[in-house]
Structure 1
Amino acid sequence: MSGYSRIIHHATSILCSNKGSMEISQLHQRVFQRFEITEADFWYIVKKCARFTVTQSRPRTEDGESDCIVVAKTSLRLCKKYSKNECYECQDLHLCKYFVYGNCRYGKGRKECKYSHNIQSQHNYPLLRECTLHELNEDDLFLLLLQNDPALLPEVCAHYNKGTGLFGACTFMERCTKVHICQHFVQDDCLFGPKCKRQHSIDEHSRRMLEERGLGGDIIHDLPYIYQSVYRLTSQTLSSELISDQGVKPVAPMEKNEICLHFIRRKCKFQDQCVLVHFNLPYKWEVYDGKDWRDLRKMEEIEKAYCDPKNEHSPGSRPVDFVSMTRNCDPVRRLSTVSSVSKPAHYILTTEWMWYYKGDHENWIEYGSPDDKQRVTSVTSRELEKAFQEDSNAEVTVIKGNRHYYVSFQDMYQRNPKHNTKRRVRRRPRFVSINEVETKASQ
């Protein structure tokens, strides 16, 4: 595990042990006890890593100061069909739901549970490893799943939060199967604090109901704070402008992140005043050394490896990790020319992005190309790229044979809604050698 990955793993473990979220200043202090990392570098990791979401807490002091909350995040879920014996191979975890709740009655008795209690099983371990969660202990992993998988958590009663009286406007009262808890406490914005007439903890009625549904005592005790983490995950995340307002500066200036097409052809009339990056190739690999971004050596070699979707690392003794975009513990970035779909066909040396999905035999198949059974997707690489440029958070419907799929740009997965199976998706550029660039630039 690289230094960067160790920091992410340690921060995730701290968050899970702290009911899933923590103010970023406190989290940095805890991480700093083991890793010497500056606050600016830590901010960069938290903002860039898909493992975390950053939200703003409400002001805690009279002068209106507030901190930022980091919440642990994962796209991993429990398989819904596993408990019905309808799933044999998918991209979700095969685990007993009550084992995750911490209260499986079979796991504690002589009779063995017919559903898996093994997070290291042949099915589960590769999924955890792919999401770099394989080193989390069971308690931390289960809390992470609970606050990210809405299907696992009981619903908060909306009617309880309306009206007056002991049960609010809930007509089911003690027979209600939803949790009676203050909605504003869940949203971390209750103005009444301890004087609030609504519950800020799990009362005896809700506790009995939750125990009957299989939730263990520790989970029930932490449930109000898990709800808060869920709310933070689904609320508006901080923008880069808000981070600046908080007084936190980015690790390095990021204004220039697109390479100038005209400079490559030696025709840029703006020279030093150009707002784009001047470089002799349509791609540029850089590593951040703590102060500045500097060029990586053997850039063409790194680019060639990156263009092959099966590669997760560049060659060499100090490889670039293409998944986490780091080298050792240092952040790495790739600058490039504008996407080819955003310019007319006669523009040269734009970046042609290719979209791939993972096949049945660990191979990567480009969208629009035939698979091993000669089946072709209804959407091509270029069409996916156009959709991605229009909305990088969208989902695109893809048809192959008689099956429908959804490609999620946010999660980079292709999902089969009928069987709830998922395949990895990758977006990689077409390789352009230095010789090819020089030939085209001289035309």
Structure 2
Amino acid sequence: MENVIPFPYAVAPVQPVGHFIRLGESGYNKLANLHAAGRFPATRVVVDASRLKHQKELVSALRAKGAEVVLDTKVAELSALEKFEGYARHAPWAGLGHGGPLTPAHFDPKRAEDIFGQIARFAIEYKVHAVLAPGHFLADPTFGGWFDIDRASCLALRRALDREGGREIAIDYQLIVPHTALNDDAARSDFLGGLQDLPYDNLWVRASGFGNDAGPLTTKRFITAMAGLHNLGKPIIADYLGGLVGHAALAFGAISGLSHGIGEKERFDAHSWHKPAKKADNSNFGRATRIFMAGLDRSATIPELELMADARGGRRIVTCCDRACCPHGLKDTIADPRQHAAYQSFTMMAELAAVPDLNREQHFLSGRMADVDRQARQAKELKFDVTEAAGRKIDVAQLTKRLVDHSKQVEKMRLSLEDLHESRADGGARVRSLAARATDQRAGKAGLK
């Protein structure tokens, strides 16, 4: 009898996906509570220089668990007329503007104030693992030379980190542009040429006018545009992006990871940054709480959610059925919407990350994309109690129209992405996967100062 030597089955590679959580300007106390309860398993976080001193306990706890900490200097906001007086004004180098926005002159490495030295010392003091190099919105109509300044800033920051004792701290590069610029071959060529030899690990793309509410054509063009940046050979992080659109870009191998907040910062728009900030309207005391409905990839106010749940067949559409997330269903979702949003976000990313790289497109299309399409079609057929709606101050016609419009958009998105998938017979170009940074060697036992 012949000896038959079994050969192992080829195992499709599973490439990691990056998931960066922006801790944001407010609400981080809730995230700290979730982390303490074991319900905020973030492995990569972005901290704002303007808020880090208030978040140092949470950041220290995350670092102790091996999380990677990335510092956003908030330079983009500090250089914008509309934004420099917002939360960004608390960044240590905000005062360089003497009550106004930072100007191109502030990024001269020979300037006495040395913004790069300040950033480097701050990064070292708070033991971050990486810094987003100072970047600006490149379509600023008041100044057209930010790209040259940003490239020089990346080099100046590297020198400053090395000089101050932060050689082990990495740099990531921010490319902040209108999403339409990414579709322009000439503009992409300029980006490729200008970013080739800079000392950075990952490219972060913040696309203005683009986000989780993007339409089918815009999403398809974004995926194609990102493929045009793959020749840099760098992992690409889509900043301020989440939801179905972000997952599609990941599944199609256009990007290496996503960066967003928990239930926020999933869309970016800088078109009005060059204008003075509008005066705050104090007539409304805060925005209405919105709750993410994973099955529909949309959010709703609590009254809208309750009205939809009360409609015949509505509860199974809008209620979280994952008992590990919301043991008591809708009641728990409403009581703690941030916990619900965090759990859903981490769960969906983990599911996609577990799928072999080359199988992700089909998995996404036949899984999450198809599920959202089906539930959106069901939601548009819901019939609401007009009296109940009036008591909740909800315009039934308007809510129904939103659900119908959403269903149409989701269906178009599915068809558009299916067409893209079928046209990529070989799977299409795929971005370089994100490398894990060595976080434990600097985590230490002491935590932050």
TM-score clears 0.5: no
Compare relative contact order (CA 8 Å, sep 6+) and give the higher one, 1 or 2: 2
Structure number with larger C-alpha Rg = 1
What TM-score does the superposition give when structure 2 sets the normalisation length?
0.26
Structure that is richer in helix per residue: 2
